[in-house]
A = this chain, B = another copy of it.
């Protein structure tokens, strides 16, 4: 029999799922010997061959995925990478990570290279200046985490809008009247949603707020902007820093100006950076469930790769307020 079957046709003939066929052909276990015999018999009878098996035979390489992140030195992204690696380890996949250094050009280069090297799927965290890969010819499944272009099929992200709402609620609960937010200028969906949630909740309560912009979400930019605000004489008693790294700069500048946190000014960051929490266990932040985001992305990517189906979904992972040892301890400085 010369006609080549697709994995779907083979699965249909055998009366099993494509995933089961894939597992049997790759000798991964998790099926009965009866099912195995049945599938292998059909493979033999039909002269079945699939790209994947042929490719593996030809190159003797195993399954793998690629992960592209914009800044591997940022704990938020490296935690995503760590969790993805752990997830796919259980399936005996290799995970190759590429650091795009916030450059769309480099992202495209890596995604093209990963495809050339027979990678099976990609998890993609975009840089802050980018707008997706609409002009790229992607032949493999892609899952976006955290940041998403408008045309993305699969996006896993924190509920950033909710995070902004929680920040506003908490600052109001703590008695703040004059609120400011410090964010970077980049047009990222994640940061936009946080600030939008923050502002919209304050509007409901008829509380004014002012947004200050910094070039980049760094400690240094947070420091400089906070000093500028203090020097300008602008009055505030609550600060929302759009991530924890910025909040460190804000905190240190407040402290150096003799302004106590949280006595004089309340401060809330965003991310739940573990190392910063270890240093300052009294700072408030919004915890992102980074591990859950990564796992949900992995699950969908794995399904797309093994079931040979296309999926269109946008999943929002809940966030939560972390008060650290917050108000229980008055001696923060």
Contact = CB atoms under 8 A, between A and B. Distances in A.
Given A61-B116, A249-B278, A279-B276, A82 B99 contact: yes
B86 A95 contact: no
Given A101-B86, A106-B89, A113-B94, A73 B73 contact: no
B78 A101 contact: no
Contacts of A78: 72-73, 78
A294 interface: no
Nearest to A96: B96
Contacts of A130: none
Contacts of A245: 275, 278
B279 A113 contact: no
A82 B64 contact: no
Interface string A60-81: 1110101000011101001101
A97 B94 contact: no
A276 B279 CA distance: 7
Interface residues of A, number: 43
Interface in A36-86: 59-62, 64, 66, 71-73, 75, 78-79, 81-82, 85-86
B82 A116 contact: no
Contacts of A97: 72, 96-99
A219 interface: yes
Contacts of A312: none
Interface in A251-278: 252, 273, 275-276, 278
A289 interface: no
B73 A79 contact: yes
B281 A116 contact: no
A115 B15 CA distance: 38
A279 B275 CA distance: 9
B96 A60 contact: no
B278 A280 contact: no
A118 interface: yes
A215 to B, nearest CB: 17
Nearest to A97: B97
Nearest to A59: B116
Q: Which of A106, A109, A278 has the most CB of B within 10 A?
A: A278
A317 to B, nearest CB: 19
Q: Which of A89, A252, A275 has the most CB of B within 10 A?
A: A275
A275 B71 CA distance: 14
A113 B281 CA distance: 41
Contacts of A113: 61-62, 64, 94
12 contacts: A61-B116, A61-B117, A62-B113, A75-B75, A85-B99, A85-B101, A89-B106, A94-B109, A94-B113, A96-B96, A248-B278, A279-B279
Given A73-B81, A276-B279, 16 more contacts: A62-B113, A72-B85, A73-B78, A73-B79, A82-B99, A85-B99, A85-B101, A86-B101, A94-B109, A95-B98, A95-B99, A96-B98, A97-B99, A117-B118, A275-B276, A275-B279
